[in-house]
């Protein structure tokens, strides 16, 4: 209570004989208000609302939205500028920013209260890229700066990194200023070289959120035995006003580190002195006793060269190990047959670890089918062998008569004769056999038929030459009696079925022209008539 005497002096009740003049009262009250304001600032979380966060303004070049300032060069308010009519993601307008190695465009705003050093903040906004904006651009990249005056970029707080998506996407920025900043600014920022332009960075920005103070937390935990509570959890906090308070659940623990915990999930809420909170969760694993398993599988099926080697770590040695219920003193097992093996590992802390090891050898390598292709005639080497292989470990390799291995499953350019072949997989497993390539004709020739009957009886249904030679540059054309083309092919194995454009031709005479080069390099042309009969 304040009392005033007749002499115009003031005394505070409860204080012995303290008298103040009216000017002194005003100073005292002002100091009290300032002190209360400081206390209130400490007791509340800092959340900064930006003016005109949807970036509304009159579209134009070298302008900033209402409530914002041009921080550098010529930012634009869109749409309707530079031929861009993209729809804003919030409100009616958005901002376009360009940059190059020595050029940056930006907008800025003075904050209602400064960003505080060593505190952590989070904000979000929408970004998009556009390749053409007056000229071509390579990518988008946004940078956020803090400063103490207009145009000041004293500290780069955050960058988006390069992006090229032309659709609006929501981005979230988290930053911890190293200094206190009164201004915040947003710039297009060069992150990498753009070979097509010296101003190759373009960012469209819209829909900025509140800048909210947050806490950064780091959670760690140590494991616990399955039947003994030996686990610990710990949280480290930064970015807020100290001191911090903690609440762990389950258990309602109030310290940053808790020990003697059983395995399970633990949730923590951290509250800073200014009211900023953060929540997190971490799991205490069940026992750190473990055995790393190194399994070696046989290269080929049936070898039984499988091996299991264990590397036991953690817990409290010495260990006790059983395999399929049998106690063993070794940790390396050789010549193991395929099957499932159950290991139980125990230490002196009554922690235990049970794990299975499945031994499965590769499937046996075998040749499913061998298809020899005979030579056209005895004078040429156009025979081949084709293998269909299964099992083993891919990729496969092939060879005949002990020659060089090849990856192709078809061995070509073979002459008539008997062949021993082998197939090997990636592990060197081999299967093999014998086959014969024959030649139906002693001499090489090509014979043209004079008629065919495409009636589907399986006999002479196609018109094509009988080729007994390794010919090349083959071409067969068939014309009707009016000179119209009805069939054409460059494959000697493909014949004419009597149809033209899906319409069956009536019995009549046709003219054919067949050209090719023989195996001896001679150019040949066969011309004649053929009869289609039913």
pLDDT at site 394: 92
CATH of the domain at 479: 2.60.40.1220
Higher-confidence residue of 385 and 441: namely 385
| Statement: residue 402 has pLDDT above 60 | yes
Tokens representing 114?
A: 């400064």
Alpha helices, DSSP H only, in 255-397? none
* Tally of domains within the chain: 5
Q: CA dihedral in degrees (13, 15, 19, 25; nearest 10)?
A: -70
Domain assignment present for 192:
yes
Domain assignment present for 152:
yes
| Statement: residue 371 has pLDDT above 70 | yes
Domain assignment present for 191:
yes
Are residue 194 and residue 272 in the same domain, yes or no?
A: no
Are residue 220 and residue 244 in the same domain, yes or no?
A: yes
CATH of the domain at 381: 2.60.40.1080
Are residue 64 and residue 140 in the same domain, yes or no?
A: yes
Domain assignment present for 528:
yes
Are residue 387 and residue 279 in the same domain, yes or no?
A: no
421 within 8 A of 435, measured Cβ to Cβ = yes
- The domain boundary, picked from 312, 331, 359, lies at 359
pLDDT digits (tens, 9 = 90+) for 285-337: 887 788 899 999 999 998 888 999 999 988 878 999 999 999 999 999 999 99
- The domain boundary, picked from 284, 299, 331, lies at 284
How many residues are there in the chain?
Answer: 534
Are residue 229 and residue 195 in the same domain, yes or no?
A: no
Q: How far apart are CA 202 and CA 129, in angstroms?
A: 6
Tokens representing 226?
A: 């399955």
pLDDT at site 350: 66
Are residue 306 and residue 389 in the same domain, yes or no?
A: no
pLDDT digits (tens, 9 = 90+) for 109-166: 999 999 999 999 999 999 999 999 989 999 999 999 999 999 999 999 999 999 999 9
Q: Spell out the residues 6+ positions from residue 310 whose beta carbon is closer than 8 angstroms to its own.
A: 291, 292, 293, 294, 321, 331, 332, 343
Range of weakest confidence among 218-227, 339-348, 427-436: 218-227
Are residue 327 and residue 372 in the same domain, yes or no?
A: no
Measured CA to CA in angstroms, residue 486 lies from 510, 511, 519 at distances of: 9, 10, 29
Are residue 300 and residue 338 in the same domain, yes or no?
A: yes
Which 8-state DSSP code applies to residue 50?
Answer: P
- How many of the other CB atoms lie within 10 Å of CB of 346? 17
Domain assignment present for 21:
no
Band of pLDDT at residue 10, cut at 50, 70 and 90: very low
pLDDT at site 30: 37
CATH of the domain at 243: 2.60.40
Are residue 398 and residue 518 in the same domain, yes or no?
A: no
Are residue 262 and residue 396 in the same domain, yes or no?
A: no
- The domain boundary, picked from 264, 284, 304, lies at 284
Determine phi and psi for 425, rounding to 5 degrees.
-95, -175
pLDDT digits (tens, 9 = 90+) for 239-287: 888 899 999 999 999 999 999 999 999 999 999 988 889 999 999 988 7
Q: How far apart are CA 59 and CA 73, in angstroms?
A: 16
Q: How far apart are CA 82 and CA 247, in angstroms?
A: 55
- Note down the domain range covering 508: 445-532
Q: What SS3 state is found at 221?
A: strand
pLDDT at site 285: 83
pLDDT digits (tens, 9 = 90+) for 47-101: 999 999 999 999 999 999 999 999 999 999 999 999 999 999 999 999 999 999 9
Percent of all residues in the chain with a pLDDT value above 90, rounded to a whole number: 75
pTM listed for this prediction? 0.48
Tokens representing 109?
A: 């705003």
- Please compute the mean of the pLDDT values over residues 485-496 and round it to a whole number: 95
Q: Spell out the residues 6+ positions from residue 32 whose beta carbon is closer than 8 angstroms to its own.
A: none
């Amino acid at each position: 209570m304040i009392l005033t005497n007749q002499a115009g002096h003031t005394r505070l009740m409860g204080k012995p004989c303290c008298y103040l003049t009216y000017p002194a009262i005003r100073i005292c009250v002002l100091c009290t208000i300032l002190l209360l304001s400081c206390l209130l600032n400490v007791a509340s979380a800092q959340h900064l609302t930006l003016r005109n966060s949807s970036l509304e303004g009159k579209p134009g070049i070298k302008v900033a939205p209402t409530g914002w300032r041009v921080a550098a060069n010529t930012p634009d308010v869109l749409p309707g500028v530079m031929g861009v009519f993209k729809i804003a993601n919030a409100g009616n307008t958005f901002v376009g920013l360009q940059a190059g190695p020595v050029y940056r465009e930006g907008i800025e705003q003075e904050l209602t209260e400064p960003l505080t050093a060593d505190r952590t903040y989070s904000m979000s906004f929408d970004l998009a890229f556009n390749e053409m904006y007056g000229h071509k651009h390579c990518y988008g990249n946004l940078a956020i700066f803090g400063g103490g005056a207009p145009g000041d970029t004293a500290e780069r707080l955050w960058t988006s990194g390069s992006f090229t998506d032309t659709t609006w996407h929501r981005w979230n920025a988290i930053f911890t200023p190293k200094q206190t900043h009164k201004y915040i600014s947003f710039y297009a920022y060069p992150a990498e070289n753009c070979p097509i332009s010296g101003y190759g960075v373009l960012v469209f920005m819209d829909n900025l959120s509140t800048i909210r103070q947050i806490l950064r937390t780091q959670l760690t935990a140590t494991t616990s035995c399955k039947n003994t509570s030996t686990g610990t959890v710990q949280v480290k906090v930064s970015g807020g006003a100290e001191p911090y308070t903690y609440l762990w659940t389950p258990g309602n623990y109030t310290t940053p580190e808790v020990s003697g915990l059983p395995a399970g999930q633990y949730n923590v809420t951290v509250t800073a002195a200014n009211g900023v909170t953060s929540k997190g969760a971490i799991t205490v694993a069940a026992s750190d006793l473990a055995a790393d398993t190194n399994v070696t599988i046989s290269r080929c099926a049936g070898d039984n060269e499988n091996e299991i080697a264990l590397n036991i770590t953690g817990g409290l040695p010495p260990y006790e190990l059983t395999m399929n219920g049998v106690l063993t003193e070794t940790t390396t097992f050789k010549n193991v047959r395929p099957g499932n093996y159950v290991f139980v590992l125990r230490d002196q802390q009554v922690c235990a670890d049970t794990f299975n090891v499945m031994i499965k050898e590769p499937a046996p390598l075998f040749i499913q089918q061998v298809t020899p292709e005979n030579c056209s005639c005895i004078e040429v080497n156009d025979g081949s062998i084709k293998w269909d292989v299964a099992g083993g470990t891919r990729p496969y390799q092939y060879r005949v008569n002990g020659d060089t291995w090849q990856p192709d499953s078809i061995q070509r350019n073979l002459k008539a004769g008997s062949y021993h072949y082998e197939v090997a997989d990636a592990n060197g497993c081999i299967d093999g056999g014998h086959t014969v390539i024959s030649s139906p004709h002693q001499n090489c020739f090509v014979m043209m038929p004079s008629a065919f009957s495409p009636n589907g009886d399986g006999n002479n249904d196609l018109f094509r030459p009988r080729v007994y030679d390794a010919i090349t540059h083959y071409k067969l054309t068939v014309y009707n009696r009016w000179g119209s083309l009805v069939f054409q092919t460059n494959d000697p194995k493909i014949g004419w079925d009597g149809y033209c454009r899906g319409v069956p031709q009536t019995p009549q005479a046709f003219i054919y022209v067949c050209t090719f080069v023989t195996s001896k390099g001679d150019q040949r042309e066969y011309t004649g008539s053929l009869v289609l009969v039913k």
